[in-house]
Amino acid sequence: MFHCFHDTRTPSRHLCPKQPSGWNWSILWHCSDAWTSIGNAWDLWFLNQSSLKATLWHRSDAWTSTGNAWDLWFLNQSSLKATLWHRSDAWTSTGNAWDLWFLNQSSLKATLWHRSDAGTSIGNAWDLWFLNQGSLKASKYVDLQVS
C-alpha cells in the first residue's frame, strides 16, 4: 500500500501517491517538510520485495540558496547494484525536468523517471515508469498535486 504523510503547514504543495493497477509491492514514501523554506528531506523506502531489496533515497538541502543536490543511493542488494544519481541546478528559471535512467543491471533493466513542472505554481506531476523486467513488473505511477 502507498502511504503519504502531509506537512500540515503546506498541504496543498504535497503529492500523495496513488496506487497503480497491478502494483503489489509495499512502498512507503515519506514527504514531510516539502516545499518549505527550512530545507527539505525526502525519504523513499522501497521495502524488501522479491529481488528488489531495501533502498533508501534521501533528499537534503533542497530549494536552498546554495544550490540543489539530489543524491540517490541504491544500495547493493541482490541484483540491484549500487548506483549514485546526483542532480544539481534544480529549480532554475528555464523550467525543470528530471530524468533518471537506470542502466541495465542484471534483472533491473532501463528505468525512466521523469519529473516535469517542478516547483511551479501550476501543479506538480510525477511520473515513474518501472519497465517490466524480471520480477519488477510494469508500473506507471502518476502523482498529481493535491489541491
Calpha distance 76→69 (Å, rounded): 22
**Residue 127 resides in a domain:** yes
Calpha distance 64→90 (Å, rounded): 10
Q: How many domains are there within the chain?
A: 1
Calpha distance 104→116 (Å, rounded): 24
Q: Which residue shows C-alpha cell 538541502? A: 61
Calpha distance 25→111 (Å, rounded): 17
Instruction: Tell me the per-residue pLDDT of 51-90, one tens digit each, with 9 for 90 and over.
Output: 232 233 333 333 322 223 333 333 222 223 223 233 333 3
**Residue 85 resides in a domain:** yes
Task: Count Cβ atoms within 10 A of the Cβ of residue 130 and give its class: 0-12 exposed, 13-18 middle, 19 or more buried.
Answer: buried
Instruction: Tell me the per-residue pLDDT of 26-58, one tens digit each, with 9 for 90 and over.
Output: 332 333 323 222 222 232 333 222 223 223 333
What pTM value is reported for the model?
0.13
**Residue 82 resides in a domain:** yes
129 is in which domain, residue-wise? 70-146
**Residue 65 resides in a domain:** no
**Residue 97 resides in a domain:** yes
| Percent of the chain whose pLDDT exceeds 90 | 0
Contact 115, 96 (CB under 8 A): yes
